A = this chain, B = another copy of it.
């Protein structure tokens, strides 16, 4: 799949040029979370966003076009992620999965938190006992409906 090749080219360019996602995001004019996901092949860019990214990473015209195609999503090579940084998130789903479910249903009734109409923000939280990773997720509640 050719989007994968574009993603790999972006990653390689980032390593060799020493770029930062936050700077890329600023140029694109969107959050660092969304822009990073887009560069990693998980989101679809519009023409203007694709042009900015193409320029930063020296993409060809055709490679740029791939950024505007809805990708086949899924960023992990295995069902259970092996990388410890990513695994901790899988662990949260495993340990807190039923808790998420219970509390969403208690507050909202039967339905889900959308992973599509969704946004998030990841930032540093200063703490004298060691700084913390702070992630705010916000997803629209979608109710199951009778019919």
- State the A residues within 8 Å of B (CB): 1-2, 8, 11-12, 15-16, 18, 20-22, 30-34, 36-37, 40, 42-44, 49, 62, 65-66, 69-70, 72-76, 78-120, 122-125, 127, 129-147
| Chain B residue at minimum C-beta to C-beta distance from A113 | B133
Which residues of the other chain, B, contact A102 by a CB distance below 8 angstroms? 21, 36, 40
Which residues of the other chain, B, contact A87 by a CB distance below 8 angstroms? 87, 91
Q: Contacts A89-B97, A124-B108, A147-B119 hold; do A73 and B69 have CB atoms under 8 A apart? A: no
A125 and B138 contacting across the interface, CB-CB below 8 Å: yes
Chain A contact residues, majority secondary structure: mixed
Of the listed residues A31, A75, A99, A108, the one surrounded by the most CB atoms of chain B closer than 10 A to its CB is A99
B107 and A123 contacting across the interface, CB-CB below 8 Å: yes
The one of B1, B82, B140 that contacts A127, using a Cβ cutoff of 8 Å: B140
B91 and A84 contacting across the interface, CB-CB below 8 Å: yes
Of the listed residues A34, A65, A73, A117, the one surrounded by the most CB atoms of chain B closer than 10 A to its CB is A73
Which residues of the other chain, B, contact A98 by a CB distance below 8 angstroms? 40, 42, 72, 75-76, 86
